[in-house]
Structures are given as structure tokens and as C-alpha cells.
Amino acid sequence: MPSSNAKNRDESKRRLLTILKTGEPIWKDEDHPELKDGAAEWVRKMRSESEARFGLIQQHRDYD
């Protein structure tokens, strides 16, 4: 008798194959407006925001 894990893998595989056979795009641009300027621009923005937050944290640490 197949294990529960094997059944889950088989079911996941069947679902994935069904999705892939539809021909419907899985990734839709309208679902990801944050990437309208491209992934590289989005990464630059995320890094910039992260660096700005880090700078604020450092300022607070230096102030204390």
C-alpha cells in the first residue's frame, strides 16, 4: 500500500500536469504590478528601502 507521502506527491503531480496542459499562462503581469518596470528595478527598489531602514536603525543606535 502506497504511503500517504507518495499519494500526496502523486496528487500534486497530477494537479501540476493539469495546470500545465491548459495552456493558460500561470504568471500574469496584472497580478504583479510591482514588476511593471522589470524585476531588476524592483530589486533595486527593495535594496534601497532596506538600506534606508538600516541607516535609520544605525542612527538610532548611534544616538543612544
The cell numbers describing 33, all together, are 504590478
Q: In 3-state terms, what secondary structure has residue 27?
A: coil
37 φ, ψ to 5°? -95, 5
Domain containing residue 35: 4-63
Give the total number of structural domains in the chain: 1
pTM confidence score: 0.53
30 φ, ψ to 5°? -65, -20
How many whole angstroms separate alpha carbon 58 and alpha carbon 64? 10
pLDDT of residue 26: 86
Q: In 3-state terms, what secondary structure has residue 59?
A: helix
pLDDT in tens, 30-57: 999 999 999 999 999 999 999 999 988 8
